[in-house]
Amino acid sequence: MTERHLPPVAETATLALALIVTGGIVMASQLPHRPPLGVPIALLGTAIAMFVAAGLMVGSIDHFARRSFHTVGKWALLAYAVIAGMIEYSFVRNHTTGAPLVVLTLMLVVFALDVALLLAFSVARYQAT
């Protein structure tokens, strides 16, 4: 079996995930006090750009197992939406409010979408089209 040349989807999505995790750690380390938002927002914006780039790369691949990608992606998204929801609940339960909660919520959304994309791509890249 010959190796196909694919765009760096996994690498780009993994970088987005690392940025999200870093931003989450920076914010969570400051709680329950109000964390500074400059660095987390910059990390979130960069992660969103990397996630969108990874999604566009997946869309540009010819002869790709899109059915497998969508099947794995929807179930992974469901699982990670539950995980992100539980994490969100812990922040709300611990009285995180305002702008920090908005930034953390957006980070959790990108986290769930990004991991689902990574899992779906990792499966679909090896499927026959």
Helices of type H across the chain? 9-28, 38-59, 66-93, 98-124
* In the predicted structure, residue 117 carries a pLDDT above the cut 60: yes
Q: What's the pLDDT at 128?
A: 84
Domain range annotation of the chain: 9-124
CB 95 within 8 A of CB 56: no
* In the predicted structure, residue 1 carries a pLDDT above the cut 80: no
Q: What's the pLDDT at 3?
A: 67
73-87 mean pLDDT? 97
Q: Sorting pLDDT into bands at 50, 70 and 90, what band is 95?
A: confident
* In the predicted structure, residue 2 carries a pLDDT above the cut 70: no
Per-residue pLDDT reduced to its tens digit, 14-70: 999 999 999 999 998 887 788 899 999 999 999 999 999 999 999 999 989 999 999
In sign, the C-alpha dihedral spanning 25, 10, 102, 105 is: negative
Provide the greatest CA pair distance for the chain.
55
CB 99 within 8 A of CB 37: yes
CB 99 within 8 A of CB 31: no
